């Protein structure tokens, strides 16, 4: 198993890192019909320095990254697999787009999943920490923690040039992207890999997609659930045998593109009347509540049916969004409502259009859109169509819309 730090970090120790051994986890039980790993992975290179970011000792010997070094299984490692990964976990004040990160951990892995180093930090969210009963981080614990802009440079160094790996990766990615956007920066991530999607692709015999179920399957001990550092450690241990199993089966990794967040607007929750100073005393006036789900008004116009490719959007059309977008989702939704469209939370046979930048993603909305024959376009095409939305044929429905 991977080793924990010998001593806990103080909130301001945001650059601490510790080399970890690259030893294999306990032998895994293969998920038929995929083959079991043919043998143990190569041992970690003792000459590797912590935090160096090198992908594999074979690279120093002139061997092409992605090919197992001497002593590894004879099968060739898939040439199209990434050369480096960053296993990430973030804990947050909530689940909405205006929530904040309170802690983050990154384990850097080489091309074959061996751990290079790890990093952990608390983050002052400048607001109420939210569900303390989940992540265990109180106002007092976060009071002297650094703000996100203060750890952004170190975070960037650990993510840059790597595939972001996370459990339910779209959530971690979007929380990270929003924090960078608030700081006036762009997150240095271009691809992500979700361990839930990988487990499904490997057809692992799991009762559900929870991290605890994956940990039990691979014999990894969870020591503190919903702790960013421990969750990232567990995920790193899980990912290595999963990656090797995928490689030996010649499976395609479920990699998805990450859309940089280029337009962001901080919004206070509707109906809120009060606020509070940030827990660290940084002076920012923030909202007190752990925000509920955002509810948008329905379109007052009747649903004219599906969007026809090459045509115009029409007031009353039901539009659903899936995946991450370069314009913050709340802004896209608000613009759609202002134009007279209906923003749908799910896809049904009444949905006029699905907007997604990942049409091949195995999400529920994409799958249902294919089943119903719902037209699918990307964000750029949607923004272009939003310039000229056709007026509805009928007057607004006083009861709040139809279809």
Partnered with residue 194 across adjacent β-strands are: 166
Q: Residue 178 in 3-state DSSP?
A: helix
Torsion of CA 328, 334, 340, 346, to 10 degrees: 70
Mark 114-134 as b/e (b = at least 16 C-beta within 10 Å): bbbbbbbbbbbbbbbbbbeee
Point out the residues that are catalytic: 226
Phi then psi dihedrals of residue 240, to 5 deg? -60, -55
CA separation for the pair 403, 389 (Å, rounded): 18
* DSSP structure class, residue 345: S
CA separation for the pair 161, 176 (Å, rounded): 16
- Record the tokens describing residue 307, joined without a space: 């969007």
- Record the tokens describing residue 4, joined without a space: 């924990």
Nearest to 236 by CA among 82, 56, 122, 113: 113
Nearest to 338 by CA among 387, 279, 289: 387
User: What interhelical angle do 169-182 and 148-159 show, nearest 10?
Assistant: 130
CA separation for the pair 235, 107 (Å, rounded): 9
CA separation for the pair 397, 168 (Å, rounded): 39
Peptide bond into 33 cis (omega under 30): yes
- Record the tokens describing residue 120, joined without a space: 């952990």
Partnered with residue 110 across adjacent β-strands are: 84
Longest dimension (CA), the chain: 73
* DSSP structure class, residue 198: H
Q: How many CB atoms lie within 10 A of CB 261?
A: 24
214, 185 in Cβ contact below 8 A?
no
């Amino acid at each position: 198993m991977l080793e924990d730090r010998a001593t806990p970090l103080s909130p301001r120790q945001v650059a601490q890192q510790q080399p970890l051994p690259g030893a294999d986890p306990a032998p895994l039980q293969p998920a038929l019909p995929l083959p079991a790993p043919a043998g143990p992975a190569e041992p970690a290179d003792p000459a590797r320095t912590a935090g160096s970011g090198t992908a594999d000792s074979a690279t120093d010997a002139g061997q092409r990254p992605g090919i197992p070094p001497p002593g590894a299984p004879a099968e060739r490692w898939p040439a199209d697999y990434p050369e480096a990964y960053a296993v990430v976990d973030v804990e947050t004040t909530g689940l909405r787009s205006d929530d904040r990160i309170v802690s983050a951990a990154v384990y850097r892995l080489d091309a074959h999943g061996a751990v290079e180093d790890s990093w952990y930090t608390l983050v002052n969210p400048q607001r109420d920490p939210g569900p303390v009963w989940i992540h265990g981080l109180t106002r007092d614990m976060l009071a002297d923690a650094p703000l996100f802009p203060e750890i952004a440079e170190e975070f960037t160094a650990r993510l840059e040039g790597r595939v972001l790996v996370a459990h339910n990766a779209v959530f971690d990615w979007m929380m990270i992207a929003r924090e960078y956007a608030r700081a006036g920066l762009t997150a240095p991530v271009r691809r992500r890999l979700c361990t839930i999607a990988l487990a499904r692709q490997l057809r692992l015999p799991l009762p559900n997609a929870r991290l605890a179920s994956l940990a039990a399957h691979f014999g990894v001990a969870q020591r503190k659930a919903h702790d960013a550092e421990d969750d990232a450690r567990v995920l790193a241990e899980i990912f290595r045998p999963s990656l090797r199993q995928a490689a030996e089966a010649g499976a395609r990794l479920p990699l998805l593109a990450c859309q940089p967040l280029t337009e962001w607007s901080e919004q206070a929750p509707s109906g809120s009347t009060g606020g509070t100073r940030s827990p660290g005393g940084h002076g920012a006036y923030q909202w007190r509540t752990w925000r509920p789900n955002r509810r948008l008004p329905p379109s007052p116009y009747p649903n004219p049916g599906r969007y026809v490719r090459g045509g115009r959007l029409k007031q009353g059309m039901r539009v659903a969004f899936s995946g991450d977008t370069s314009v913050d989702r709340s802004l896209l939704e608000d613009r759609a409502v202002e134009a007279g469209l209906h923003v749908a939370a799910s896809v049904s046979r009444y949905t006029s259009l699905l907007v997604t930048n990942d049409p091949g993603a195995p999400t529920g909305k994409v799958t249902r859109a294919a089943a119903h024959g719902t037209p699918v376009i990307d964000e750029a095409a949607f923004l272009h169509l939003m310039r000229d939305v056709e007026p509805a044929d009928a007057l607004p429905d006083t009861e709040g819309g139809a279809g």
